[in-house]
Structure 1
Amino acid sequence: MAALARLMVVGFIVLSVIYVCLSLYSRSVRKGKLRAEWNEGPKEQSLDEFLDEGLAEYDKSLRRKLILSVYVIPVILVSIVIYLTNFA
């Protein structure tokens, strides 16, 4: 039982690091695309306002929610492997 608890704690820490890195990378890519869009288009508002609106829209997007699958998919796979190893 201690081995399972250790696996869960270490797994959660590793998945959290992966989630944070992936989230920061995705956000920086979106920010870069917003900057490019602002540079090409008419300058009706400041860059900071444009980025704030675009990133607020990004926070509500499906892509942001799909990044949470970093937690779900490995847990399902490990559960399947444990089940097949012990009960199949």
Structure 2
Amino acid sequence: MVALARLLVIGFVVLTIIYVCLSFYSRAVRRSKLEAEWDETRGPGNRESFVKTGLREYDGSLRRKLILGVYVVPTIAVGLLIYFTNFA
């Protein structure tokens, strides 16, 4: 039981670090794409407001929510591995 608790705690910490890194990376990539888009078209308003509006839209997007799969996929994989190793 202690081994399972240790696995869960360490796994949660590792997955959280991966999630934070992916989240920052994805947001930085989106920011650079918005800046490049504004530079090409010299869009409406100033650059900062254009990027801020684009990032606000990104925060509610499906891509942002898919990053939460970092928690779901490995948890299901480890659960299936444990199940098949012990019961199948």
Instruction: Please state which band the TM-score falls in when normalised by the shorter chain.
Output: over 0.9
Normalised TM-score (structure 2): 0.96
Return 32-41 or 43-52, whichever deviates more: 43-52
Q: Is the 8 A contact 2:23 2:67 kept in 1?
A: yes
Q: Deviations over 1:3-27 (max 9, x none)?
A: 0000000000000000000010000
Q: What TM-score, normalized to structure 1?
A: 0.96
Aligned residues: 88
What residue is the counterpart of 1:40 in the other structure? Answer: 40
Q: Which residue pairs with 1:10 in the alignment?
A: 10
Aligned Cα RMSD in Å? 0.8
Name whichever of 36-45 and 46-55 sits farther off. 36-45
Separation (CA, whole Å) in 2 of partners of 1:43 and 1:80: 50
Runs of 5+ in structure 1 lacking a partner? none
Over 4 Å off, 4+ runs: none
In 1: Cα distance, 2:42 partner to 2:35 partner:
12
